[in-house]
Chain A
């Protein structure tokens, strides 16, 4: 296998050198502003995590879409119907899929308490074991490991619209009472949301793919916009470390907002040096 791996990298000798100029610098001076920004953001996140660990109560505003998830679970339990959780169509290298898996674990824990079936259709093979583990851990955290059904975590197809067609089939046949679309979505978002609407399910969607937000907003009952998806893990679990990280990124946003306002004022008076600080070569 190692030999075939090596052959895969070097099927033919490269016709030219990979880099004709060498660079001995250990830090790119042109990117100091990005580095500083990252350091500030990291510092804020770590600071608030430490603060949360010490027991400080951190306020997080109400997010209607996330409250609706519990309502959706309750509704599905009353109706005796399953819940459909679609974690998006992207791979584990997409941070939205990672965030979706975290939320899935929380949803599985809630669902396990009510013994409601949770169906999770998966598009990519790498995501399947992660989804299985997230759901299993959710059930175990709720003290219901025997209720976990591996068959409900289903690999459909890695082809985008075949995956969407498969989910439509699940929605039309199994009639889930609640559809949760949380993760990275593309063109199939409206196909899923409209089909789900036609079955009368309550729908909560969340994505950081801006171009799909309008479709979810018009077709779903609740939509988590952008960073609300990333905030969901902290919001649902209320774990101090996660709340601390959320607080840290909120403060970072505050600093960015202040910089934007200051920059807009300065540029209006033709003062350019502040804007130049943010230029990335």
Chain B
């Protein structure tokens, strides 16, 4: 018994890796279908987009790269789903260099589904280096900051960009971000200066940092991690990658809890046994 407890107390982390690997992968093959409710910040995200008049122009800044794909790509797709359904015109920018190809795929896929036309219903302006400077520069002039789109077409020749000078010509901003530059910078540099509606989707680890902004109303909605994506997909009415990942996340969290529990049990029992031996 003591040997078992010592084995658990000093457990080789590779056993933990093995169990986590199984906990994440098995539910993907054998879904459990556990239901969940939608939280207020996610409802706020959905409602803010829903309130925008049909046909309006929205800026969507996808500030992430492939590392955050599992959490943020489902949000991007679901947001495009909602926006295209409302015939909103989507102008996409990226402040992370590896973002444009990922977003281009999402745009092309959703455009095909909703029969939207590039240049008329949406445009991918691509990546621009400069971080907060780019945001502030867009406040002065978006065409000057992004003179061409991702494919090199001058914005003067793109129909959706006609009449778009700066943030005043946009209904709102949807920001999907993985870190810096991202939501905090959009709040500080843009929302605070231009008072435009801003909603954010971010990784689960960043979401707690943005709760203050949601509480103060600087963010009208917030999606946090894959759970946020799944809740949002539920509102939009799609069974996307976020929803499918929920079972794996549930089981893996339970697995971590199980290891914390047995680790503490082993620790306390061993401490008691050592105390008895000393006496």
**Given A160-B67, A186-B179, A187-B179, A15 and B208 touching (CB < 8 A)?**
no
Residue in A closest to B66 when the chains form the complex, CB atoms? A161
Interface residue? B50 (CB, 8 A): no
Which of A16-24, A145-153, A230-238 is the contact stretch?
A: A16-24
Q: List chain B residues, Cβ under 8 A from A186.
A: 179-180
A149 and B70 alpha carbons, distance in the complex (Å): 42
Whether B192 pairs with A12 at a CB distance below 8 angstroms is: no
Interface of A is mostly: loop
**Least CB distance, A261 to chain B, in whole angstroms:** 19
Interface residue? A55 (CB, 8 A): no
Q: List chain A residues, Cβ under 8 A from B143.
A: 12, 14-16
Interface residue? B25 (CB, 8 A): no
A13 and B144 alpha carbons, distance in the complex (Å): 8
Interface residue? B147 (CB, 8 A): yes
Contact of B156 among A12, A93, A281 (CB under 8 A): A12
Whether B148 pairs with A11 at a CB distance below 8 angstroms is: yes
**Least CB distance, A32 to chain B, in whole angstroms:** 16
Interface residue count for B (Cβ, 8 Å)?
29
Whether B209 pairs with A211 at a CB distance below 8 angstroms is: yes
A9 and B154 alpha carbons, distance in the complex (Å): 14
Whether B144 pairs with A90 at a CB distance below 8 angstroms is: no
Q: List chain A residues, Cβ under 8 A from B192.
A: 280
A281 and B195 alpha carbons, distance in the complex (Å): 8
Residue in B closest to A158 when the chains form the complex, CB atoms? B97
Contact of A18 among B67, B144, B195, B209 (CB under 8 A): B144
Whether A18 pairs with B141 at a CB distance below 8 angstroms is: yes
**Least CB distance, B100 to chain A, in whole angstroms:** 15
Q: List chain A residues, Cβ under 8 A from B206.
A: 211
**Least CB distance, A100 to chain B, in whole angstroms:** 15
Q: How many A-B residue pairs have CB under 8 A?
A: 58
Whether B140 pairs with A19 at a CB distance below 8 angstroms is: yes
Interface residue? A259 (CB, 8 A): no
Whether B67 pairs with A11 at a CB distance below 8 angstroms is: no
Interface residue? A130 (CB, 8 A): no
A12 and B203 alpha carbons, distance in the complex (Å): 36
Interface residues of A in 59-91 (CB under 8 A from B): 90
**Least CB distance, B158 to chain A, in whole angstroms:** 10
Q: How large is the interface on A (under 10, 10 to 19, 20 to 34, 35 or more residues)?
A: 20 to 34
**Given A160-B67, A211-B209, A16 and B165 touching (CB < 8 A)?**
yes
Whether A14 pairs with B154 at a CB distance below 8 angstroms is: no
Whether A16 pairs with B141 at a CB distance below 8 angstroms is: yes
**Least CB distance, B160 to chain A, in whole angstroms:** 12
**Given A186-B180, A187-B179, A161 and B141 touching (CB < 8 A)?**
no
**Given A160-B67, A161-B67, A211-B208, A14 and B180 touching (CB < 8 A)?**
no
A18 and B203 alpha carbons, distance in the complex (Å): 34
Q: List chain A residues, Cβ under 8 A from B179.
A: 186-187
Interface residues of A in 170-190 (CB under 8 A from B): 184, 186-187
Whether A15 pairs with B155 at a CB distance below 8 angstroms is: yes
A18 and B140 alpha carbons, distance in the complex (Å): 5
A93 and B181 alpha carbons, distance in the complex (Å): 12
Contact of A12 among B131, B140, B154, B178 (CB under 8 A): B154
A11 and B203 alpha carbons, distance in the complex (Å): 36
Interface residue? A38 (CB, 8 A): no
**Least CB distance, B61 to chain A, in whole angstroms:** 18
**Least CB distance, B196 to chain A, in whole angstroms:** 14
Q: Name, among A15, A19, A198, A280, the residue most crowded by chain B CB atoms within 10 Å (CB to CB).
A: A15
**Least CB distance, B94 to chain A, in whole angstroms:** 15
Interface residue? B1 (CB, 8 A): no
Interface residue? B4 (CB, 8 A): no
Binding site for A on B (CB under 8 A): 13, 65, 67-68, 131, 140-141, 143-144, 147-148, 154-156, 161-163, 165-166, 178-180, 192, 195, 203, 205-206, 208-209
13 other contacts beyond A12-B148, A210-B208, with CB at 8 A cut-off?
Answer: A11-B154, A14-B141, A18-B140, A18-B141, A18-B166, A19-B140, A20-B165, A184-B180, A186-B180, A187-B203, A211-B206, A211-B208, A212-B205
Sample (7) of A-B pairs whose CB atoms are under 8 Å apart: A15-B156, A15-B162, A16-B143, A18-B165, A93-B131, A160-B65, A186-B179
